[in-house]
Amino acid sequence: MSAADAALRPYTTEVAEEWIDYNGHLSEAYYVLVFGFTTDRIMVDLGLDADYRAATGCSLYTVEAHVRYLREVPRGATLQVTPRVVASGAKKLHLAYEMHVGGELVATEEIMALHVDGSGAAPFPAAIAERIEALPAAVPEWSGRRIGA
């Protein structure tokens, strides 16, 4: 991955009718589903795709997540999720996602993901670690918040 290519692609999808809840808006579970699809896209972009998983037995597991539901998402909306690397390490990725509808921020998710093999956390292979290192780190102002009264 060259420096010019060092970016995570946004994930875009339409809200499916079956994702709408009894209030006529995107149900909370489907925000997380779309964020999960964004993680899947990142895995492909980094080389952690189905072929990699089959060949190595390794994958990326989300071990912690924090979602903020900021705005209701209506039926028929187009969702665009912008991913960012907050931080990384030999075995982990700290990612932040911002979900927009028509340019308006509607939700965020922050995850800690671990690269694992059959016995637990495992270092990323060198080529994948280099791809991760080439990505710009960006910490959104909302990163690291905690739930509190």
Of residues 116, 112, 84, 86, the one with CA closest to residue 97: 84
Residue 29 DSSP SS3: helix
Q: Which residue has the tokens 């270092």?
A: 123
Look at residue 62 and tell me whether its pLDDT is greater than 60: yes
Instruction: Name the CATH topology of 3-134.
Output: Thiol Ester Dehydrase; Chain A (3.10.129)
Secondary structure (DSSP) of 96-129? EEEEEETTEEEEEEEEEEEEEETTEE-PPPHHHH
Contact 71, 101 (CB under 8 A): yes
What is the value of pTM for the model shown?
0.92
What rounded mean pLDDT belongs to the chain?
Answer: 93
Backbone angles phi, psi at 24, to 5 degrees: 85, 20
Render pLDDT for 115-144 as a digit per residue (tens, 0 to 9).
999 899 999 999 999 999 999 999 999 999
Q: What is the pLDDT of residue 145?
A: 86
Name the residue type at position 140. Answer: P
Query: If pLDDT is split at 50, 70 and 90, which confidence band does 146 have?
Result: confident
Name the residue type at position 115. Answer: H
Q: What is the pLDDT of residue 2?
A: 42
Q: Distance between terminal CA atoms of the chain?
A: 44
Render pLDDT for 102-113 as a digit per residue (tens, 0 to 9).
999 999 999 999
